Amino acid sequence: MIAKLLIANRAEIARRITRTCRDLGISPVAVFSDPDADAPHVREADAAVRLPGATPAETYLRIDALVAAAKAAGADAVHPGYGFLSENADFARAVRAAGLTWVGPDPDAIEAMGSKVAAKKRMAAAGVPVLPELDPESATEFPLLVKASAGGGGRGMRVVRSPDELAGQVAAARREAESAFGDGTVFCEPLLEGARHVEVQVLADAHGTVWALGERECSIQRRHQKIIEETPSPAVRPEARQRLFDAATRAARAIGYVGAGTVEFLFTDDQRFHFLEVNTRLQVEHPVTEEVYGVDLVAWQLAIAEGERLPDSPPEPRGHAVEARLYAEDPSQDWRPATGTLHRFHVPPGVRVDSGVEDGSEVGVHYDPMLAKVVAWAPTRRAAIRKLATALDRSAVHGLVTNRELLVRTLRHPAFVAGDTHTGFLHRHGLPAAPAVDVWPLALAAAVALAEIRRTNLPLGWRNLPSQPRKTVFEFGGETVEVCYRHSRRGVLTDSDVRVVKASRSAVVLECDGVRKALPVAVYGDLVVVDGVALRLLPRFPEPRPTTAEGATVAPMPGTVVRVAVSAGQAVGPGAELLVLEAMKMEHRVLAATGGTVAEVLVRPGEQVDAGDVLAVVEAAS
């Protein structure tokens, strides 16, 4: 029996595995990098072992360090979670060689599926439908998709629509795959636009029983990264569902699979499907399966590792579950990962929240920017969608820009509600524009709440010259918002038809045209969040700001320079790629704002930069 489990991962999945350990009476042991020293997954474990360093390559991708950590903590088993080394056969072998129990499939099965190129050949031999493989160096069929052979999660994936894009996109995919998975091998296959991404959860024991625990629809993706998943799929009809399950179990048996895994397919409207890959680990989206089938997949992983048998047949599904991945990323900056302090994180009760963060968590540059997975279950699909959208809409996420608005608008989009989903959904359908924010009433509430906070023994708003209004200035969306108001015996007066009914440090009640609304207010230094909208308080007497040289291109975020595309003296056009930064395991192109001549390049590949650092200077053409 497993007594002490080392969790070779971090953040949300480490906390989720710890939760099951608590239920089963197993002692959880965490590992942590230097940036993660105060992370929730560390505090919640019974013991924790430091992995010196900050980057994944220095820490969570170090096989020797993780095995040494398990031994130092006295663990007798290792759970890899997902990502990092979870699909690394060498890691599994090293764990077993150290005399520890590996909570996962046999290393040979991992190795068989670790290369997607080899996996496709093996699945074809087992009778599972596959897409043809195209040569990354000389493909002639477009559009196509470049994919990392050793990983997933959107890393190392590129869409190529013409021959002149192929070489550059293949090179970028290789760099990203090498950084994320330690293996830069890529391959290509036809891009089936309009197809769905449907996967089957399998669970297999060492005694020959294989379960197919339903299919998950994972078609809502942005840059090949899943953001909304659900089970069951609204598109799969019963006959096709059985064929899917048969293909998935056939795939698992073909490699002697043991444990929890996922067989992924592309599914078309004519109810045909093609094999994509086998993920030899727990998936990020596993909670929707747990909610519908009433199982704990981590508990089953541990039980199977201890040699237990599965019952002959899986439990019956009930209802519908939908999951949304909440990421720290800025839609106004081409969805760049956002870093900083998460001052407040609260999701209303009634939904499941698997999260790696809490109030006060620091979100840095080294790891995936996912903050949480929010999961809703209901008897019907529409009810589950409504519950999830409402929970996200009412959540408090203060301090970081996120993709929450995208998630809510997608869930409420008529096409999504109708089940019209596919991998090109966000590109093809587009989304309704975000509703315009009437920011002035929010700024008024912020100003009045700030006045309450600053209140002393003097009457609120006391002035030698009471005719002079109070003025507070905020920044919102790059624009300034000025609020002027007066205090009188009748309360707060403004020149608008918005009336302040009641005010405190944490809430302000406004009335407009006879309609009252209570607006929660939270203040974190100069950041004021009113009803979920963030305003930045501007100082009354701003200090002079350092100026940046004309034509200077600055780093949009902290990161590592992975490629410099230009040199001093080179002519560039507007939008030309100057260099590539890597942050949060993804590559981000830095482009020239205007055309001109590159006067100087101030960074080299491999160099670490901070947000705002000058990277290059382009002198505009005269």
Mean pLDDT over 98-125 rounds to 92
3-class SS at 403?
Answer: coil
**Mean pLDDT calculated for residue range 332-344:** 90
Q: How far apart are the C-alpha atoms of 275 and 254, rounded to whole Å?
A: 14
Q: Would you state the pLDDT for residue 234?
A: 97
Q: Name the pTM for this structure.
A: 0.86
Average pLDDT over residues 520-538: 96
Q: Which amino acid is at 245?
A: F
The per-residue pLDDT for 491 is: 77
Q: How confident is the model at residue 429 (pLDDT cuts 50, 70, 90)?
A: confident
pLDDT the model gives residue 454 = 85
Average pLDDT value for residue range 307-331: 97
Which has the higher per-residue pLDDT, 585 or 595?
595
Average pLDDT over residues 531-540: 94
Counting residues of the chain whose pLDDT is more than 70, the rounded percentage is 95
Q: Is the pLDDT of residue 374 over 70?
A: yes
Mean pLDDT value across the chain: 92
| pLDDT value of residue 180 | 73
CB 175 within 8 A of CB 116: no
Question: Rounded mean pLDDT of 30-49?
Answer: 98
Strands (E) in 194-319, as ranges, are: 196-204, 210-222, 225-231, 259-267, 273-279
Helix axis angle for 89-97 and 107-114, nearest 10°, is: 170
pLDDT at 457 over 50: no
Span 552-620: which CATH code?
A: 2.40.50.100
What CATH class does 132-190 carry?
alpha beta
Confidence of residue 151 (pLDDT cuts 50, 70, 90): low
Mean pLDDT lowest among 151-165, 200-214, 329-343: 151-165
Domain ranges, ordered by start, for the chain: 4-103, 132-190, 196-428, 439-537, 552-620
Tokens at residue 101, please?
Answer: 């129990």
**4-103: which CATH topology?**
Rossmann fold (3.40.50)
**How is residue 459 annotated by DSSP?**
P
CA distance 394 to 321: 19
Task: Decide if pLDDT at 49 tops 90.
Answer: yes
Residue 585 clears pLDDT 70, i.e. is over it: no
Tell me which of 2.60.40.10, 3.10.129.10, 1.10.3720.10, 3.30.470.20 is the CATH number of domain 196-428.
3.30.470.20
Is 3.30.700 the CATH number for 439-537?
yes
Q: What is the three-state SS of 332-358?
A: HHCCEECCEEECEEECCCCCEEEECCC
CA-to-CA distance for 427 and 423, rounded, in angstroms?
Answer: 9
Long-range contacts formed by 460-467: CB under 8 A, 24+ apart: 460/487, 461/486, 461/487
DSSP SS3 for 113: helix
